[in-house]
Amino acid sequence: MKINKLHSSAPRAAVSRLRAFGAAVSLLAVVGCTTPKTFGIETQRLAPGEVPVMMGPSVRDNRTPMEAALACYGDYISATRPGRVVIGVGEIKDYTGKYSISEGNAVTQGGSLMVYSALGKLGDAITVAERYDPSIAERELGYTDRRQLGDGNAHDVNGQRVPWLPYFGGTITGSDYFIVGGITELNYNIRSGGAEAGVNNIGFKARTFNQSVSVDVRIVDSRTLLVVKSVSLTKQFTGYEVGL
């Protein structure tokens, strides 16, 4: 009788295991068809067989506290100056010399790009001329000079039909002014202070740090190369540290 009981319980155990395995497979199939979330973080599987990747917030415009001031100044230029002034941007380099082996340059190396963005926020008041990186245009001018550049059409040159683009010069718009300069100062700690109190390494602490950064830029007349205006700006900012 004992042997019969052992033999009769074995099929039931096998059936239970098969049911559990089937439930697990079904769960995995359902998960594979949905967008999983891990600890409240939205994820998405971009292709079959790939692991899900975390999805963050959408891309947005990089707005700054200067948006309103730049828009207002753009309206002022449009109202007081006839025509659109053409401005180019040159090198806005990092002259601070601050560098860390572990973290790299302490100051952004994209000063010129930031000036381009600021000029773009002036709206239709000005026209920005590309002077910082004209490498593609210069390369295509070289192709044109060697009669290698075309647009798929035939063109008349001296009474002949040719497949290359003719170039007679004078197509690049000259600038009225250009902006150059650099980031010239970075002071990590011009002033700091704080307080700390505790017993047995348990307590409260608070500290503040004041830093500053400065830029020096100039506006140059493109035709005479005379400096129209030199500007030196500095900005202090404060960091706070509070802990237990």
Q: In whole angstroms, what is the distance from residue 112 CA to residue 120 CA?
A: 12
Q: Give percent of the chain above pLDDT 70.
A: 83
Q: CA 76 to CA 73: how far, in whole Å?
A: 5
Strands 202-221 and 177-199, sheet pairing: antiparallel
This prediction's pTM? 0.71
- Domains located in the chain, CATH noted: 2-54 (no CATH), 67-131+175-243 (3.40.50.10610)
Structure tokens at 53: 């990747």
Give backbone dihedrals phi and psi of 81, rounded to 5 degrees, phi first.
-120, 120
- In the block, which residue shows the tokens 């506290």? 65
Residue count of the chain:
244
Query: What is the distance of C-alpha 134 from the center of its chain?
Result: 21
Q: Please give the Cα distance from 236 to 213 (Å, whole number).
A: 7
Contact at 8 Å (CB) between 230 and 216? Answer: yes
Rounded to whole angstroms, the Cα distance separating 160 from 146 reads: 17
For residues 165 and 157, is the Cβ–Cβ distance under 8 A? no
**What is the rounded distance in angstroms from the CA atom of residue 215 to the CA atom of residue 115?**
12
pLDDT in tens, 163-218: 999 988 888 999 999 999 999 999 988 887 777 777 776 777 788 889 999 999 99
- For residues 132 and 176, what is the distance between their CA atoms, to the nearest angstrom? 15
189's CB contacts (< 8 A; 6+ apart) are 209, 210, 211
pLDDT tens-place string over residues 52-86:
898 888 888 888 889 999 999 999 999 998 889 99
How far apart, in whole angstroms, are the C-alpha atoms of residue 60 and residue 201?
A: 44
Residue 30 has pLDDT above 70, yes or no: no
Predicted confidence at residue 6, as pLDDT, reads 42
Residue 167 one-letter amino acid: Y
Instruction: Report the sign of the C-alpha dihedral through residues 7, 12, 16, 21, in that order.
Output: positive
Give me the helices (H) in the chain, please. Answer: 2-32, 67-80, 111-120, 135-145
